[in-house]
Structure 1
Amino acid sequence: MIWRVLLLFILLFIDAAHADDVLHLYNWNNYIPAQTIARFEASCACRVVQDYYSDNEEMLAKLAAGASGYDLIVPTGNAVESLIRQGALRPLDKNLLPNLHNIDPAYLNAAFDPSNRYSVPYAYTLTLIGYNREKIRELDLTTDSWAIIFEPIYLKKLKGRVTVLDSQRELLAAALKYLGYSVNDVDEVHWKQARDLIIRAKPYWAAFNASSYIKELTVGNIWLVHGYSNDIFQADLDAQKANRKFRIVSSIPKEGAVMALDSMVLQKTGSHPDLSHRFINFMLDGRNSAELTNLIGSGNPNRDALQYIRPEISQNPAVFPNRAQQVRLEMLHDLNRHQRRILSRIWTQIKLK
């Protein structure tokens, strides 16, 4: 009788311990496959609880307002830079990350975290031009330049069928690249030139849209977008599943574009650093990392993952750009408080015109 009571006590203790093993993940929506999460939970007898954000600014604002207790966050480089400067992150213990060697060195030591003291590359996206291939052919338009987004001579044929991202940094970056500047140019004169370019094009656009443009592309309501490579990939998959008579494809403009490298980081207030390291190392395994790319078409910095990625994805230049294209890609840097105020004022002017 005593041993049965003891066994019951032990089982209850184990269950209670496992109940406490909850990894709190703050992530982009649809940025990790459900089967990957399930496999990790089984491997560690734990649970993963996720909260989601749709924009880095949204995530930073929530944390600034006091949100705490997240074990892992998956921000873009410029947001990582901001979090490091705020002292909001916990340094990594690389002894707990033996799979770190799988990351292509080209994606390590980025400007936002030169020694990768705080961040591990997760995935990347490009901000480029996505379009309805059949409609653009019918209109005899070329998509190799940001001109098709900004110049009225082209937009007249597309009026009401174009959306651009509802993102200050991303839209300004596209305009700056078209004008021949860096996406990280902070000269206010150049920002005003970009503002004027955007305001001139705005009457031809259907909307500023960072979410539902995937569906609008898929059903054929929108023919051209300024959007993220993985969203455009998803729109094409959805169009094929719905047996649409068109394909959604993408183009990296010749002037260049933004590459957004998302990384896994540990929030300092998280209570499970050991479990967080186990998750990071798990995601650094090639098979696990490849699942994300196969699901949403994200770029992948993991060399071991390449062998598991479907050929039609690994050979897509909008997902895996070649060397010549990579030279034209830039990562956004964080802005200081003064620059943010100027950008906010310019964005208000754009929206009110």
Structure 2
Amino acid sequence: MSLIKKLAIGALATISALPHMASASAGELNLLTWEGYAADSFITKFEAASGCKVTASYVGSNDDFAAKLAAGGGVYDIITPSLDTVPMLHEAGFVDPIDTTKVEGFDGIYPEFSKVSAVVVDGETWAVPLIWGSVSLIYRPDKLSSTPDSIGVLFDPANKGKVSLWDDKSAIYWTARYLGYDNVFDLTDEQLDAVKAKLLEQKPLVRKYWASAGELTELMANEEVYVSNAWTGLTSKDVNALNKGFNVIEFTPKEKAEGWMDSMMIAKGSPNTECTYKFMSFMQSADGQCGIAGETGYFPVNPKAVQGCMNEDLKKERQVNNVEFVKSLVMWEQPKRLDKYLEVWNAVKAGL
């Protein structure tokens, strides 16, 4: 049985077994999202304009969404998974389709995101693009003997005990590219075995697998880690702002950086559809798009929305109207054999 079918069956069983659990109330909006995606700097504007009170819970990995939805019954209204996780959540029955006519500003979203096959299935839209960006590498130039240009820096024995990596199946994507595999989302059993062996070989070099951007910032700020993959623009900004007497630098490896796009999805059976659509519309406005981009350093999905709230230099930095940049990235996709990828990553973490 596939992982998606298992999740769907498990979700239905869990939901039917939890009628006693408290559901979200109308006029309230419960988000399951990432750090920085529910910051007071823009959420308070939404609450004042909409009359909807926002409560946010946070994830550290895309793998958390399905588990929390299955365990939480009707607790959440909107979730914000990455593009490689959207199809699984839809197919597993965790979300409801979206009426895009109720999302103000939807037509301003890059069609490269709003019409992608992971988002639109059989004429129905399952996610509203929110924000996008890349995952690059970050390092302490004062601690490395040379300037790195490759993913190989994560596997260099010279950095033993000072390497970190995001605790996510995407570690497989990074390792596969380092090994020269182009089909990173459809690896063969033999290739997955090679990736697993390389990650197990790397394991003694790793200080810690980080679960959130805040955790990686602490690891670097406390000088526990010198090199890692990281959300482009966020960790370097946060670490360097601490003025610890050193700086960190980001770079795009010769094997390419990864690209991602996070979207808003409506949790199955949410009683707060009025607030959900108000929120989705707000996040396509200038306050929403510039708000989340300002908090995270990521790139807006709605170029029309940011015309009046970003100057030309910032627009250039945040890749506004430069969708060509997407083509330079390895954009995340749902692996063809998601269950196998998760099995491999969990085995690596367990040291098996």
TM-score (norm 1): 0.81
Question: Residue 45 of structure 1 corresponds to which residue in structure 2?
Answer: 51
Give 1:127's aligned amino acid.
V
8 Å CA contact retained: 1:145, 1:253: yes
8 Å CA contact retained: 2:257, 2:329: yes
1:60 deviation in Å? Answer: 0.7
Question: Residue 130 of structure 1 corresponds to which residue in structure 2?
Answer: 138
Question: Residue 91 of structure 2 corresponds to which residue in structure 1?
Answer: 85
Q: Distance in 2 between matches of 1:132 and 1:305?
A: 36
When residues 46 and 209 of structure 1 are mapped into structure 2, their CA distance, relative to the original with a 3 A threshold, is: closer
Question: Residue 259 of structure 1 corresponds to which residue in structure 2?
Answer: 259
Give 1:186's aligned amino acid.
L
Gap regions ≥5 residues in structure 1: 1-18
Aligned length: 322
Which residue of 36, 41, 47 corresponds with 2:42?
36
Q: Which moved more, 1:269-278 or 1:326-335?
A: 326-335
Q: Distance in 1 between matches of 2:250 and 2:319?
A: 7
Gap regions ≥5 residues in structure 2: 1-24
TM-score (norm 2): 0.82
The reply to whether residue 24 of structure 1 matches residue 30 of structure 2 is: yes
When residues 252 and 71 of structure 1 are mapped into structure 2, their CA distance, relative to the original with a 3 A threshold, is: same
Question: Residue 154 of structure 2 corresponds to which residue in structure 1?
Answer: 149
Root mean square deviation, CA, Å: 2.7
8 Å CA contact retained: 1:22, 1:46: yes
Q: Distance in 1 between matches of 2:306 and 2:326?
A: 19
Q: Which moved more, 1:196-205 or 1:313-322?
A: 313-322
Question: Residue 344 of structure 1 corresponds to which residue in structure 2?
Answer: 343
Question: Residue 11 of structure 2 corresponds to which residue in structure 1?
Answer: none
- Once the two structures are superposed, residues 192-240 of structure 1 have per-residue CA deviations (whole angstroms, 9 ceiling, x without a partner) of 111122222222222222332211212333211122225424xx33433
Question: Residue 6 of structure 1 corresponds to which residue in structure 2?
Answer: none
When residues 347 and 219 of structure 1 are mapped into structure 2, their CA distance, relative to the original with a 3 A threshold, is: same
Question: Residue 328 of structure 2 corresponds to which residue in structure 1?
Answer: 327
8 Å CA contact retained: 1:129, 1:227: yes
1:285 deviation in Å? Answer: 0.6
Question: What pairs up with 1:1-353 in 2 under 5 angstroms?
Answer: 20-114=26-120, 117-136=125-144, 139-142=145-148, 144-150=149-155, 155-167=156-168, 169-181=169-181, 182-211=183-212, 212-233=215-236, 236-240=237-241, 242-307=242-307, 308-309=309-310, 314-316=315-317, 323=324, 326-336=327-337, 339-341=338-340, 343-345=342-344, 347-349=346-348, 351-352=350-351
Give 2:202's aligned amino acid.
A
Question: Residue 5 of structure 2 corresponds to which residue in structure 1?
Answer: none
When residues 311 and 248 of structure 1 are mapped into structure 2, their CA distance, relative to the original with a 3 A threshold, is: farther
1:320 deviation in Å? Answer: 9.6
Q: Distance in 2 between matches of 1:300 and 1:249?
A: 23
Q: Distance in 2 between matches of 1:322 and 1:117?
A: 21
Greater fraction of residues in helix: 1
Q: Distance in 1 between matches of 2:232 and 2:221?
A: 14
When residues 157 and 306 of structure 1 are mapped into structure 2, their CA distance, relative to the original with a 3 A threshold, is: farther
- Once the two structures are superposed, residues 69-94 of structure 1 have per-residue CA deviations (whole angstroms, 9 ceiling, x without a partner) of 42211111222111111222222122
1:66 deviation in Å? Answer: 4.8
Among all aligned residue pairs of Structure 1 and Structure 2, give the percentage whose two residues are the same amino acid: 21
8 Å CA contact retained: 2:36, 2:295: no
8 Å CA contact retained: 1:229, 1:319: no
When residues 324 and 295 of structure 1 are mapped into structure 2, their CA distance, relative to the original with a 3 A threshold, is: closer
When residues 256 and 289 of structure 1 are mapped into structure 2, their CA distance, relative to the original with a 3 A threshold, is: same
**Structure of higher CA gyration radius:** 1
DSSP 3-state at the match of 1:303: coil
Q: Distance in 1 between matches of 2:88 and 2:192?
A: 21
1:29 deviation in Å? Answer: 2.8
Give 1:132's aligned amino acid.
R
1:172 deviation in Å? Answer: 0.6
DSSP 3-state at the match of 1:98: coil
8 Å CA contact retained: 1:26, 1:52: yes
